């Protein structure tokens, strides 16, 4: 298994800081903004960003977790059902500016499912998408991210591996892995 490093710990730190600055530019005082991390892996990034934003702006920004398993379009096309995770959205998203956070944007199908899942909680004013890694030119649906940590050219057979300290890894590292 060949692995290529895309982002190391320092670069990741800078990248996340830049994403936070972009959010601050666009959301000003975060009055109506909520952050929603996507289960299972987007929640770690959402937590890191939420913590940084809270420290920088001293504002209270609601943070939720969303699981889109039951809304996926590939259910029953897989051998085994995908295991669901906890959804916790303890605030009202009606009329709010939602920032959806995930680690890797690939085909766009998870994001489509997530938007469906989100509508079950109300009608947000706007929805933006923040991803750490954007796998360019591999989209199967017309979906694009508003905030991108790093764009990467990948093959469909490759996989992006995100290792974060928050997930129990030794160091923050993002890899491009060749499947063999």
Q: How far is CA 125 from the centre of its chain?
A: 19
Give, as ranges, the residues between 41 and 70 that touch other proteins (CB under 8 A).
Answer: 67, 69-70
Q: Could you say which of 5, 14, 120, 156 contacts other proteins (CB under 8 A)?
A: 120
- Span near other proteins by CB under 8 A; candidates 24-32, 114-122, 152-160, 172-180: 114-122
Phi-psi region of 137 (alpha: psi -120 to 50; beta: other; left: phi over 0): left
Q: Could you say which of 121, 129, 158, 172 contacts other proteins (CB under 8 A)?
A: 121
72-111 footprint of other proteins as x/- string (CB under 8 A): x--xx-xxxxxxxxxx------------------------
Taking the complex as a whole, the smallest distance from the CB of residue 165 to other proteins amounts, in Å, to: 26
CB 19 within 8 Å of CB 130: yes
Question: Pairing relation of β-strands 158-163 and 173-178?
Answer: antiparallel
22 contacts other proteins (rule: CB under 8 A) = no
Pair of tokens at residue 61: 């920004």
Question: Closer to other proteins at the Cβ: 22 or 85?
Answer: 85
Q: Using CB under 8 A, list all residues that contact other proteins.
A: 67, 69-72, 75-76, 78-87, 116-117, 119-122
């Amino acid at each position: 298994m060949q692995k290529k490093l895309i982002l190391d710990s320092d670069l990741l730190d800078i990248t996340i800081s830049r994403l936070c600055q972009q959010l601050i530019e666009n959301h000003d005082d975060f009055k109506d903004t909520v952050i929603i991390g996507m289960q299972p892996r987007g929640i770690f990034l959402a937590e890191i960003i939420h913590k940084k934003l809270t420290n920088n702006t001293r504002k209270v920004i609601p943070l939720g977790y969303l699981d889109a398993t039951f809304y996926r379009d590939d259910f029953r096309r897989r051998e085994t059902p995908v295991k669901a995770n906890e959804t916790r959205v303890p605030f009202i998203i009606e009329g709010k500016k939602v920032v959806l956070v995930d680690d890797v944007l690939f085909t766009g199908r998870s994001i489509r499912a997530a938007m469906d899942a989100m509508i079950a909680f109300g009608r947000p004013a706007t929805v933006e998408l923040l991803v750490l890694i954007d796998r360019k030119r591999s989209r199967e649906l017309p979906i694009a991210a508003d905030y991108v940590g790093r764009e990467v050219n990948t093959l469909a057979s490759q996989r992006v591996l995100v290792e974060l300290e928050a997930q129990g890894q030794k160091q923050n590292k993002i890899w491009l892995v060749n499947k063999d």
